[in-house]
Copies of this chain bind each other. A is one copy, B any other.
């Protein structure tokens, strides 16, 4: 069993990005600048945004966080998005999800200028990804593909079973794994809550990508000998073994499943850190106008 060490790989990529940022600015390019909008005071959202800011700092990307109270109106947030769209110093803009119920997420996302949409959530980026055109890829699927690429995991002709059909992980990763390309060219099966024989399908997977947010869901008897297992789940569960009383749990029963795998991602330290570096990579690409001129 080999660990797909996202933490180490992400550290390596951060170094590479820091170098690229340095090269870009030394050639007279502007310093990349990522803005994050956060509405309300959800602790998980605040943690995510602070991790993103920290990662920006580490690689020389400027960052701004714009905070709104829980009761901010949709109009106020939309106006801020439009202001940032027009601000030529800001290259990338993310709006931390979820938003309070009275604000339409799709309206906010569609208002972000797609050339600054480094989360890859705008329909133009989603549609271009779908059609195999250059676009900002959503960070988690992008991070998974990069992890597979750097560990030289063979994906062509393999059966990749994806558990979960979310817009931000399951569905885009299905598109990326089945597309012509490397990594890619997998035969992809998309499973979800309505799948009737999930265990059997998982057992036929050469690669399993678990992304349904259900701690320990993927059990030993659902994984075939030698499989590659990517665990996207990250749920806070109670624990009597940590000082805080909480720990992060993946969708895979790691201790039981890992011995059967050729490769497996741990949680934490697998897909999570790769997600954040993908956002940095997208921000740098936005600054360098690599995708949209």
> Which of A's residues lie within 8 Å of B, judged by CB?
106, 122-128, 130-133, 156-159, 165, 167, 171, 174-175, 178-180, 185-192, 194-197, 201
Contact = CB atoms under 8 A, between A and B. Distances in A.
Given A187-B189, A190-B188, A106 B133 contact: yes
Contacts of A132: 167
Contacts of A194: 156-157, 185-187
Contact of A157 (B174, B185, B195): B195
Given A165-B178, A167-B132, A191 B187 contact: yes
A87 to B, nearest CB: 24
Contacts of A178: 165, 171, 190, 192
Contacts of A171: 130, 175, 178
A186 B131 CA distance: 22
B187 A195 contact: yes
Contacts of A165: 178-180
A179 B167 CA distance: 10
A173 B271 CA distance: 29
A133 B123 CA distance: 10
B185 A188 contact: no
- 9 closest cross-chain pairs (CB), A and B: A123-B127, A126-B127, A127-B127, A185-B194, A187-B195, A189-B189, A157-B196, A123-B124, A178-B190
Nearest to A206: B196
Given A124-B124, A196-B157, A131 B167 contact: yes
A192 B106 CA distance: 32
A285 to B, nearest CB: 18
A175 B190 CA distance: 9
B192 A187 contact: yes
B196 A187 contact: yes
Contacts of A189: 187-190
B130 A130 contact: yes
A210 to B, nearest CB: 15
A185 B196 CA distance: 11
A192 B177 CA distance: 12
Contacts of A130: 123, 126-127, 130, 167, 171
Contacts of A106: 131, 133
23 contacts: A106-B133, A123-B124, A123-B127, A123-B128, A123-B133, A126-B126, A126-B130, A127-B127, A127-B130, A131-B167, A156-B194, A158-B196, A159-B197, A165-B179, A171-B178, A174-B174, A178-B190, A178-B192, A185-B192, A185-B194, A187-B190, A187-B191, A188-B190
A103 to B, nearest CB: 16
A196 B206 CA distance: 12
Contacts of A185: 192, 194
